[in-house]
Structure 1
């Protein structure tokens, strides 16, 4: 606790605190009794610069494969041109928007506040969410003191352990793991779980905030709505001018439109963006599509980028590329055998980006054929823009390696599907009139996340 630390503002405030030890009651000698504090703050100015973010958010593999390009996208963005930093958007008051910073004391020491300064938000909301037991994550020192990680994995949250509703039904011969034999321990654990779930719910709100600031469900344009069929386009816009959306690990980030059209009786006459029985979209990576069990979705509008590899005899093919898992510490991705000066990437593989550039747009095109219509309507189209961190086919590709915390591939997949968020939802009504080509109303459904 008394070692030197590094920060963006240098040592001035620490010097002031150490000059007033009678007020703050701190000590810098590790052998001295009292409230210990760092002896010095070294200036580390780069931590406030976008370049610091770029050390992790541009990922180039050993063979020159450009896996992630978030920082490269930022450097050529309008936001960078006007001097807006990564920190301005992702460490301010609002997730994903340059909204200024809170100001206040960096610390309260012995009930005494330090001088007010700019406060940065270190939560960094993004598309990912926890899949593991809430007794383990978020990190909680009280939970760690109550039980080990292995013991927490034995605590059945869904069954209601530690709630009155469950405990009132437990008989004298009820069987529990050794760590949870005591009803008092189960009640203590439930208090921790409830607190953890509150924290996870807050994180979900932050994630929804940053994603809604990045993606906008825009115009819906009806091109045709008559007895011959319904044809319409749906716009998805980028809400940021700082980088593409999605960004980072775009080859596995799922953002797509789910479009369901029903007739006046509620019967589905058209659907796109739905899932196969495995939980995947009906795209080229769906095992059910490959097996011919489920039809390919010809209207799927997805912003997921594609990993493309070169065939031995020419041409290219899409691939699901999981993270290499070596049996030794040596990397399995070898350097390229040829110079990458001219290509900038290996000739054997690349990422085909399908995201949206800063403040750009993409359109989904949908056609309900006339023979699918059941009458004059009205027909209702429910349009959802949905986000999920990774597709289920990536889980399948990784399952032979296994997953931590005792999770099965099915549990991982189910958790991803359960956590997928509807960012925006709209409803469009089509009235089919032989004498009137188009009659449309558009109502936006308000979501609370």
Structure 2
């Protein structure tokens, strides 16, 4: 049965007003036989319509109602606001305290790191002696600010060279260390010597690329060809994407799940918002050497530029259930998204009054995220799927070790 022929129910927890919002799209107009009821424990809602029944597990228990009011307008949309059965116990976390997918404390030293698709070993057991969390993205700027405004008893250093020599100037980078797994928000930074080189293939480099010094080198699984990570031209470290690997732990109980791409991207967007205060982001593809044009005019290069994905964080912390989401209820971020031209994106990012931040991801990952957002749009009632020129989407969030 196609989606247009099924009863679609979507429920979202409104924690600030202690209610659950429920929306429903029916395949045919409401009739006198249409009914909506809440289970005795307040955990489920069932709609009976035109000979079919559909039940959704609610994100929180609501006050049980034997019969919900049904509008007799003859339309195909229904909606309710249901009060919670009891006050919420759990605290809504601020954006700055959101769980990070796989922090260093979640990972066991000596663990095997393997390709998630084909299970090829990327890092052998016993290679990584310790996992260390990397500081936030703006750590260099924070340290530079401290040195520019430190107490009078200290020598005032304005020279960037002094800051760089200390290891935290704006131009400094964290270099990989053999035996250490540095944990970034969405990737592992590893030394080349710790990798199983036979499991990783490097994209062929392109000589003479005009912007070559700013490019990265894509790293792929030799067996299944998925992109596992990237390496900068400076080759200070290799980044392995968390969503492309599994970490096989020996002594600790293994997590029930590994962070997926949506969970990693939502963490990136939330961290960007916490750091900059900007709720809008442009997802820009990471340029690899093979992406760069060898020659040609500016117009030819511009013709290769594709539209980019713009995402507006509408609600950073929701819990929803949908009859089209088998794992309901789900913790997620509600976003608005649309595609914009590269020219428009550049204008937004370069504006003096810009309220937009850029987030870099591999092209394939951005394409996948766009597909996931489009798919999530169909979890929502038809009347709520658009907001002006924006499309409404849902990005699953990481909830801890077990996802």
Pick the TM interval, shorter chain: under 0.3
In the superposition, the TM-score normalised over structure 1's length comes to 0.25
In the superposition, the TM-score normalised over structure 2's length comes to 0.27
Q: Which one has a larger percent strand, Structure 1 or Structure 2? A: 2
